[in-house]
C-alpha cells in the first residue's frame, strides 16, 4: 500500500476524539458567561445527553456554538431561533428542564 495513504489513515484515527474526551469538552462548553443559560445547559447535558440520538448529540454540540445572549433570549422565550435545528434543540432542552412550558 502507498505510504502516503497509510499516513493519512493513521492521522485520521489519531485525530478521532474518544467519547470520553468529547464529553469532557462538551461539559466545559456548557459552562457559559450567562449563568441563566448555564443552569439549563449543564444539568441537561449531565442528565440527558447520553439518551439523545447521535444526530441530536451532534445538533447539541452545534447548538453550543451559539452566542450566550441568543440562548438567553430563546430560553426565556422572548425570541424563537430562526435556525430550525436550534429551535428544535431549544424545545428539547426546555421540555426536559422546564416541563409544562
Domain spans, the chain: 25-97
Each residue's pLDDT tens digit, 82-96: 999 999 999 999 999
**Distance, CA of 96 to CA of 21 (rounded, Å):** 25
**Distance, CA of 46 to CA of 83 (rounded, Å):** 25
Which pLDDT score is estimated for 100? Answer: 67
Grid cell, residue 91, equals 424545545
Which pLDDT score is estimated for 16? Answer: 87
pTM, two decimals, is: 0.79
What CATH topology corresponds to 25-97?
A: DNA polymerase; domain 1 (1.10.150)
Each residue's pLDDT tens digit, 39-67: 999 999 999 999 999 999 999 999 999 99
**Distance, CA of 71 to CA of 3 (rounded, Å):** 47
Q: How confident is the model at residue 14 (pLDDT cuts 50, 70, 90)?
A: low
Amino acid at each position: 500500500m502507498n505510504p502516503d495513504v497509510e499516513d493519512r489513515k493513521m492521522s485520521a484515527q489519531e485525530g478521532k476524539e474518544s467519547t470520553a474526551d468529547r464529553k469532557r469538552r462538551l461539559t466545559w462548553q456548557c459552562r457559559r458567561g450567562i449563568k441563566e443559560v448555564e443552569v439549563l445547559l449543564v444539568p441537561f447535558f449531565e442528565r440527558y445527553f447520553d439518551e439523545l440520538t447521535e444526530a441530536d448529540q451532534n445538533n447539541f454540540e452545534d447548538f453550543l456554538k451559539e452566542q450566550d445572549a441568543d440562548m438567553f433570549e430563546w430560553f426565556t422565550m422572548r425570541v424563537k431561533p430562526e435556525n430550525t435545528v436550534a429551535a428544535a434543540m431549544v424545545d428539547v432542552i426546555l421540555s426536559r428542564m422546564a416541563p409544562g412550558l
